Amino acid sequence: MNTIEKFDKHVMHSYGRYPLVMQKGDGRKCTDENGKEYIDFGSGIGVNSLGFCDEKWVDKVCEQVKSLQHTSNYYYTGVQADFAGKLCEMTGYDSVFFCNSGAEANECAIKIARKYSFDKYGKNRHNIITLVNSFHGRTIATLSATGQEVFHNYFFPFVEGFINVEANNIDDLKEKLDDTVCAVMMEYIQGEGGVNVLDKDFVNAVYELCAKKDVLVIADEIQTGVGRTGKFLAGEHFCKKADITTLAKGIAGGIPMGACLTTEKCSNVLSAGTHGSTFGGNPIACAGGLAVLERLSEENFLESVSEKAKTFTEKLSQCSEVKSVSGMGLMIGIELKTKKSADVARKALDKGLLVLTAKNKVRLLPPLTISEQEIGDGLEILIDIMEE
């Protein structure tokens, strides 16, 4: 039996996998079982923010593994204190709850929003507005929050209390933001939905209407956060700070971690016993997270992300098959004129380049540490395939 046969024998077939057995990563490149090399334009869906096995990240994680790998949340650890402090300092938030994934971070945000409202206004103000075409996770509650009908199958009954508003439709928002609503949850750039950046006017309207009614804004920055767009949070591009921001994916550089950040207003909503997670705030994950934050706070690091993004857009917009390029920073959506994104991704794999797709677009989420040389080499492969 080869690896793929062995794998498929017992691992559930819940993913449409590419026939690639990844063996080793180094920087922005990895190799498969047969020694074939790939340039990485996907970071494992925006997770390996510093690339594969970054030296300082490895050192920090290994040091932690050797001294304390886990303790329950009945006790304190210095590394969680350090990570929380640095994360709040870099984002301007007051408090954080640590968990292990994006869906869990959003679950936490949903619970905070509902309890904040319950504590202050009592029952029947529990609805949360989410946007059509959004993606918020795979648990039952976050699937219910996700504004795409394709996700609302098989697993009935879903969780009540989510109302969908069309992205960028201010009238729709005004009509649905009534006295039953406790929060609006949105991605500034819809990732899985196709790398769609929200209109500034719409984002402004959300904040204005919510402020008037003491409705919380939840920014799902699981994909857009931690430097991905050239700012630490994508909200900074809109000059906005949500009451609650959720992070995951790239936050710990490849170790499972999610975070739910709140302003002071919501800091004490989750009192003792109202929420928890066995692994949340795990010391190894916190150490990985600290290494990521230390790199991102180096001088000019975030500026370099924006500069690299420019190289991508400039080169891509010269390609005859490219209809448009969307996104911000190193979160890039490529709309094609004639080809299918899935076909391009599969061909790229053959040619030694890892890319992602989002709906009909080719999606790129390269490691934030990618070099201009690697961008050039990867784009040469990608553009060749697109122009073929």
Ligand X SMILES: *Cc1c(COP(=O)(O)O)cnc(C)c1O
Shortest CB 344 distance to ligand X, Å = 21
Contact window for ligand X (CB under 6 A) among 3-11, 101-109, 166-174, 320-328: 101-109
CB 194 within 8 A of CB 187: no
Minimal CB distance to ligand X: which residue? Answer: 102
Q: Tell me how far apart the alpha carbons of residues 386 and 229 are, in angstroms, rounded to a whole number.
A: 25
CB 385 within 8 A of CB 219: no
Q: What are the beta bridge partners of residue 258?
A: 99
Contact window for ligand X (CB under 6 A) among 208-216, 218-226, 335-343, 355-363: 218-226
CB 19 within 8 A of CB 34: no
Residue 349: exposure state from Cβ atoms within 10 A (0-12, 13-18, ≥19): middle
Q: Please give the C-alpha separations between residue 273 and each of 260, 270, 278, 353, in angstroms, as whole numbers.
A: 17, 8, 13, 47
- Is 199 an active-site residue? no
Find out whether the peptide bond into 157 is cis, omega within 30 degrees of 0: yes
- Return the residue of 27, 42, 102, 254 that touches ligand X, per CB under 6 A: 102
Which residue lies nearer to ligand X by CB, 223 or 262?
A: 223
Contact window for ligand X (CB under 6 A) among 10-18, 73-81, 99-107, 331-339: 99-107
- Please report where in the chains the tokens 């190894």 appear, as a residue: 284
Which residue lies nearer to ligand X by CB, 147 or 378?
A: 147
- Return the residue of 223, 229, 262, 282 that touches ligand X, per CB under 6 A: 223
Shortest CB 220 distance to ligand X, Å = 5
Residues 171-200 that bind ligand X (CB under 6 A): 187, 191-192
- Return the residue of 49, 91, 95, 101 that touches ligand X, per CB under 6 A: 101
Contact window for ligand X (CB under 6 A) among 21-29, 134-142, 308-316, 340-348: 134-142
- Is 120 an active-site residue? no
Active-site hit among 135, 232, 238, 312: 135
Q: Starting from the edge strand earliest in sequence, which strands make up the sheet with 95-99, in order?
A: 95-99, 258-262, 244-247, 216-220, 181-186, 127-131, 162-165
- Is 323 an active-site residue? no
Q: Starting from the edge strand earliest in sequence, which strands make up the sheet with 356-358, in order?
A: 322-328, 331-336, 361-364, 356-358
- Return the residue of 50, 79, 87, 103 that touches ligand X, per CB under 6 A: 103
Residues 6+ apart with CB under 8 A from 133: 147, 148, 167, 190, 193, 194, 196
Active-site hit among 40, 54, 220, 243: 220
- Please report where in the chains the tokens 């075409």 appear, as a residue: 133
Instruction: Tell me the per-residue interface mask from 47 to 86 with ligand X, x by CB under 6 A, - otherwise.
Output: ----------------------------------------
| Residue 329 within binding range of ligand X, rule CB under 6 A | no
Shortest CB 63 distance to ligand X, Å = 26
Catalytic residue positions, numbered: 135, 220, 249
Q: Which residues bind ligand X (CB under 6 A)?
A: 101-103, 106, 135-137, 187, 191-192, 220, 222-223, 248-249
